[in-house]
Amino acid sequence: MTRKKSLNQAQETNTKRPARLEIKNTKTTNVVKSEANGRKRSTNIKRTVETPPLNYDLSSLIDAPVFHPDEKEFNDPIEYLEKIQHECERFGICRIVPPASFKPECQVADGMRFTANNQYVHRMFRRRGTNSCILEAIHRHLRELNINYQPPPCIGGIEVDLPGLYEAVQDLGGPGHVLENNLWSKVADTLKIPQGAHDRFSKLDSIYCKYLLPYATLSDEERKKLMHKIESQKNRHLTDDEDENECVVKGSSMPLSTFYRIARNTLSVWFPNTNSSATDASDLDPAQVEAAYWKLVTKRVAHVRVHSGNIDSGQSGYGFPCNKTSRHPWNLKVLTNNNGSVLRSLGPVPGCTVPTLHVSMLFSASCWYRDPHGLPWIDYLHTGADKIWYGVPSLQESVLHQAMNKLVPDLVKGDKSVWLSSDTVMVPPTMLADQKVSLSRTIQKSGQFVVVWPRAFTSSLSTGYSVSESVCFAPMDWLPIGDACFKELRINNEPTVFSLQQLLWSIAHDSRSTVNVLKRVLPILKPDVDEEIQLRSSLRDFGVQQWRKLPVTSEPSSKDGKKRRQTSVTDDGEMECEICQASLFFSRAECHSKADSPVTWCLMHALKKIKDHPRVTQHIRVFYVHDEAELRKTVQSLQDHIKSKALRRAPAHHRSSTL
């Protein structure tokens, strides 16, 4: 993966939220090609689940706590967050309203380009409703006629709801009547085509003729046959279109100005009487948007596509400014280097320690999600419409898991640690509350922060165009949580966005690390080092002979331009074991048994391979940066350092008794 982008192009990430970079897992759909007919077939055994009625009663939700720190309290963010954590961890999320003096700049440019995500609102909860079946029948017929329907037709940047257009024309007396009497203005009103699109009538006419007329001119018998085919495929969970199994898919690249125009049109479609300026506060009641959204999501009658974008702010310099005059500690580009966050020793990791900029529009959402590393994160709404947040605390995980299993069994991955992939599902919070999930809600206004606590689940919904920015952080108390998360991820063969060993190693060698942090690092790092030494010795015992010590490389740190000691077995720190997907740091084993590219394993899995197939031994090369003596030395000096600090602090009589 190359990180170098042209200077005038914002760097893009796949992240919805921090740390989603490589976590998106498409396994939920398990679409494979059936060899016999080349069709895609889902391997999941799907269960049909009734959709419970949507009773949108907000009183079943709990208000997340809100904090109003004064100027004095609003100084060190990590210190402040540590102070309030115990009070609000049981809500999963909280909102922070900064003092009025906090007015940071937000740097964005109309020309800022990014790859937008397409979000299909009607597929957010259950994938296929009646509208999807009609659309599939239309698509199938077009395919039979060799008519290309990708990209889908748009007016004013908004995708036209083809089944809706078909119905609207039928309701007005059929295509003959509509074309003859030029009733496109009536059709446009029914479909709520944005009024700003001046050529909307002629566009509707040509879209209808190209994409729907062939389908409309089929006999009832032929259409019935087509629908029957689609229905029976639906029951067997076959689909012609792989994207139909996803609710969020990668869309096209667009500049911010285009995104904004689509956002403005989207708002005018659904709320035509609203002030649609992006920066002005809208008079729209967020609860009204919320109710309309969940109705669209659960009813699945209309075909609604909206967009969102996630942009790596690190190299582009968008979002919070990076210059010397903007060094407020709550500026997220400053916060990520706060003394209290152990992640700062890791250096810049896009989607994790480098803030991500999020652009949203009406009805664009962040699906239910939690950071797989158990990291807390913070989101600042720079400008635009309110964002509604839902949170479920870590303690409620099993209740939430049960509820999700009941409501969306096809989208939940058994008992894995990451049982909910990112960009997978939006479940109405009231439905979760009905299943006894303790769920909190808050409305973030522009200029406010939302904090998501370790291992909490969240989702959010935008009520209009907005720009926000988020970043992960980690107080030292996160270290044992992170250790448990990384272990679980490895057992489940799930990828991580960084190596925990690399983080621990960096903290141990970081002169800024306090003794309290080192005390938490030691009990995690020592067993890892012991295991590494043990594995190397076992590999030698089993006959591995090719060992290569790699030089310690130093890379310039992007933040301060100073050289940072980066020590890893991979050039860019992104190499993973092909079996457990662990990010490799201390060492990596390469198997060169085949002529083409070698296979990379962690030492544990290399040893397992050797035990299962002794013949691979001769093909294995182990690469490492630090030899065993260096590994031991790091642990020893960590122990010595902690001991010396403890001695210095202990009173004299106590000191003599311990000696």
Contacts with Zn ion by CB under 5 A lie at 577, 579-580, 602, 605
Question: How many other C-beta atoms are found inside a 10 Å radius of the C-beta of residue 605?
Answer: 17
What b/e sequence results for 134-153 when a residue is b if at least 16 CB atoms lie within 10 Å of its CB, and e otherwise? bbbbbbbbbeeeeeeeeebb
Strand partners, 624: 549, 587
CB of 478 to Zn ion, least distance (A): 24
β-pairing, 66-67 with 93-96?
Answer: parallel
Nearest to 322 by CA among 633, 356, 520, 314: 314
CB of 501 to Zn ion, least distance (A): 13
Alpha helix stretches (DSSP H) within 50-193: 77-88, 130-144, 162-171, 174-181, 184-191
User: Do residues 17 and 391 make contact, with C-beta atoms less than 8 angstroms apart?
Assistant: no
CB of 269 to Zn ion, least distance (A): 50
Q: Closer to Zn ion at the Cβ: 567 or 587? A: 587
CB of 619 to Zn ion, least distance (A): 17
CB of 493 to Zn ion, least distance (A): 8
Give the alpha-carbon dihedral of 224, 227, 229, 230, to 10 degrees: 180
CB of 351 to Zn ion, least distance (A): 23
User: Do residues 265 and 157 make contact, with C-beta atoms less than 8 angstroms apart?
Assistant: yes
Total residue count of the chain as it appears in this document:
659
Q: Closer to Zn ion at the Cβ: 28 or 496? A: 496
Q: Closer to Zn ion at the Cβ: 400 or 580? A: 580
CB of 608 to Zn ion, least distance (A): 8
User: Do residues 193 and 155 make contact, with C-beta atoms less than 8 angstroms apart?
Assistant: yes
CB of 605 to Zn ion, least distance (A): 4
Q: At what angle do helices 515-541 and 628-649 cross, to 10 degrees?
A: 150
Rounded Cα distance, 124 and 407, in Å:
13
CB of 603 to Zn ion, least distance (A): 8
What b/e sequence results for 274-305 when a residue is b if at least 16 CB atoms lie within 10 Å of its CB, and e otherwise? bebebeeebebebeebbebbbebbbebbbbbb
Q: Closer to Zn ion at the Cβ: 269 or 579? A: 579
Q: Closer to Zn ion at the Cβ: 165 or 577? A: 577
Identify residue 383 by its one-letter amino acid code: T
CB of 583 to Zn ion, least distance (A): 10
Q: Closer to Zn ion at the Cβ: 500 or 507? A: 500
User: Do residues 212 and 165 make contact, with C-beta atoms less than 8 angstroms apart?
Assistant: yes
CB of 27 to Zn ion, least distance (A): 18
User: Do residues 297 and 407 make contact, with C-beta atoms less than 8 angstroms apart?
Assistant: no
Q: Closer to Zn ion at the Cβ: 23 or 602? A: 602
Taking the alpha carbons at both ends of the chain, their separation in whole angstroms is 54
Q: Closer to Zn ion at the Cβ: 185 or 493? A: 493
Nearest to 163 by CA among 127, 200, 119, 129: 129
Q: Closer to Zn ion at the Cβ: 112 or 603? A: 603
User: Do residues 439 and 392 make contact, with C-beta atoms less than 8 angstroms apart?
Assistant: yes
Left (φ > 0), alpha (ψ -120 to 50) or beta: where does 344 sit?
Answer: alpha
Rounded Cα distance, 331 and 317, in Å:
13
Q: Closer to Zn ion at the Cβ: 308 or 587? A: 587
CB of 581 to Zn ion, least distance (A): 7
Q: Closer to Zn ion at the Cβ: 491 or 552? A: 491
CB of 279 to Zn ion, least distance (A): 49
User: Do residues 291 and 335 make contact, with C-beta atoms less than 8 angstroms apart?
Assistant: no
Rounded Cα distance, 349 and 23, in Å:
14
Instruction: Output the six-digit token pair for 119.
Output: 């979000």
481: CB partners within 8 A, 6+ apart: 374, 454, 455
Q: Closer to Zn ion at the Cβ: 472 or 602? A: 602
Q: Closer to Zn ion at the Cβ: 437 or 580? A: 580
Q: Closer to Zn ion at the Cβ: 322 or 579? A: 579
* Per-residue CA distances from 60 to 1, 285, 428, 431, 562 (Å): 45, 19, 12, 9, 52
CB of 604 to Zn ion, least distance (A): 6
Rounded Cα distance, 213 and 640, in Å:
80
User: Do residues 255 and 113 make contact, with C-beta atoms less than 8 angstroms apart?
Assistant: yes
Q: Closer to Zn ion at the Cβ: 605 or 632? A: 605
CB of 587 to Zn ion, least distance (A): 11
